[in-house]
Amino acid sequence: MEQIPFLEATPLLAVMASLVAVPLIALSGNRPNLREFWTFLAGGVKLFLVLSMASWILAGHTHTYELWQILPGISLTFVVDGFGMLFALVASSLWILTSIYSIGYMRALDEHAQTRYFCFFAVSLSATLGVAFSGNLLTLYLFYEMLSLSTYPLVTHHQDEEARSGGRKYLTYLLSTSIGLALPAMLITYSITGTLDFNSMGVFGEGVSKGVLVALLLMFVFGFSKAGMMPFHSWLPGAMVAPTPVSALLHAVAVVKVGVFSIGRILTGIFGIDLMASQDLNTIVCIIASFTVLVSSLIALSQDNLKRRLAFSTVGQLSYIILGIGLATKLGVEGGMTHIAMHAFGKITLFFCAGAIFVATGKQYISQMVGIGRRMPITMFAFFVGSLSVIGLPPAGGLISKLMMVRGALEADMAWVLAVYLVSSFLNAAYFLPIVYKAYFCTEEEALFENKVQEAPLCCWLPPAITATISVVLFFYPSIFLGFAQVMMIGR
């Protein structure tokens, strides 16, 4: 047994890093600079701790840390493996960028209750990493619920009537599905198998009837409704009432990806991809996901509010990931996992840009953004790169993962999935590219903005510029994240 090059409890520490910061942030509420320092410190420590485990994981190891036996036979356990590592890395690195952005955004708009905002942001990051490192279904469920609750104050930050109805929808969907579907599914799984630990071979083994499996699969897929599978998606556009940094990190990265990640974990770790393929469960998942992909893309076309269009785009892209993992082939799963990272960087860029536009001009509707490229060239260029990544065009990272998923579809002999990917990519292009086109190419009469460069504050345009750059870098060096996904699939 090789010596692990980091502390035994590193996963726990990484989860706790931002939680420890919460009282510090709360106590320095009237000194904003000190308060933001704690956020950055926690973010830095978190990223460092996550990175310290990266090389070990890339070498094909996994690290298990049992925290606490909570019920006879079931523990709170952290397991760090490729998939979890990939997600943790995305979340913790983007937290730092989002924090920079939050400062710019919140201060520029002089938002109220900023201390509360940063506190709950830190809590939700803890929950996100907790999900990423969960070693069994109970641990995952615990952090999943923690995330639902800790993001509620963020979603309803404005505390106006719109926020209230958005928040209501948010919790109604997330809690009702997790308590009503995911919890019983988890208990039934435990009752049948006697274990909740994730296992790449699956936990069901022989002898569980197909009817039960299908029922459980549906309960799980819809139960983790953070993934936004239709018909449980409408909380996501509703939650766009949140301040843009929240939408950016939580609804393009943390919250929704936690949903996708959970489903991915369950498909690969509870059902196991062998069982998925042999029992034709993959077809069911693919049908559900394809439906969501196509319908949400069509809805996105008709949205004029930029954030809502992005939200529906997110709904579609999430189902891409499920679709990829649901194919239950090596390439499909790898592609799906990698797409979590690729889409995260692309989509967060788009959200950052939407927020920057709002900060600089107060505009939220696409029809009001004609000619905005003249006024905010950097922001709009970042937006362009981000949309390339989400559509899946070179030179942005989204292409790589999308290609892998397409090859996965061929590998699984499901040619119709290929068609879904192609049609939806076309739709993606159709709802993104016109925005960019109109921003730059318009006649003087059409332009709604003067021909004078006036960007949002530095804190608002720098983060999207960075994430856009990373998206491009990921096109050339996809192995940064792909490596982790491949580790998961070794031996297949």
User: By the criterion CB under 8 A, which residues form the site for other proteins?
Assistant: 68-72, 112-113, 138, 141-142, 145, 149, 153, 156, 158-161, 163-164, 167-168, 171-172, 175-176, 179-180, 183-184, 187-188, 190-191
Pick 77 or 329: Cβ nearer other proteins: 77
Closer CB to other proteins, residue 203 or residue 427? 203
For the CB of residue 142, give the shortest distance to other proteins in the complex, in Å: 4
- Copy the structure tokens of residue 196: 């909740």
- The span from the first CA to the last CA of the chain, in angstroms, equals 24
At residue 138, what is the residue type?
A: L
d(C-alpha 11, C-alpha 15), whole Å: 6
CB nearer to other proteins: give 114 or 471.
114
Supply the minimum distance, in Å, between the C-beta of residue 144 and other proteins.
9
Burial class (CB in 10 A: 0-12, 13-18, 19+), 175: middle
Shortest distance (Å) from residue 445 CB to other proteins: 34
Q: Considering the complex, state which of residue 167 and residue 386 has its C-beta at the smaller distance from other proteins.
A: 167
Instruction: Give the count of beta carbons closer than 10 Å to the beta carbon of residue 18.
Output: 27
Give the separation between CA 149 and CA 174, rounded to whole angstroms: 9
% helix / strand / coil in the chain, to the nearest 5?
Answer: 75, 5, 20
Nearer to other proteins, 243 or 373 (CB): 243
Q: Is 252 within 8 Å of 91 (Cβ atoms)?
A: no
At its nearest, how many Å lie between other proteins and the CB of residue 201? 24
- The closest alpha carbon to 398, from 302, 300, 482, 487, belongs to 482
Minimum CB distance to other proteins, residue 126 (Å): 14
Q: For residue 242, which amino acid is it?
A: A
CB of residue 8 to other proteins, shortest distance in Å: 20
Q: How far is the CB of 98 from other proteins (least distance, A)?
A: 22
Query: Of 185 and 327, which CB lies nearer to other proteins in the complex structure?
Result: 185
Name the residue nearer to other proteins (CB basis): 149 or 410: 149
Asked if 111 and 243 touch (Cβ cutoff 8 Å), the reply is yes
Residue 204 CB contacts under 8 Å (≥ 6 apart), including other chains:
189, 192, 193, 213, 270, 271, 272, 275
- Cα of 11 vs its chain's centroid, Å: 20
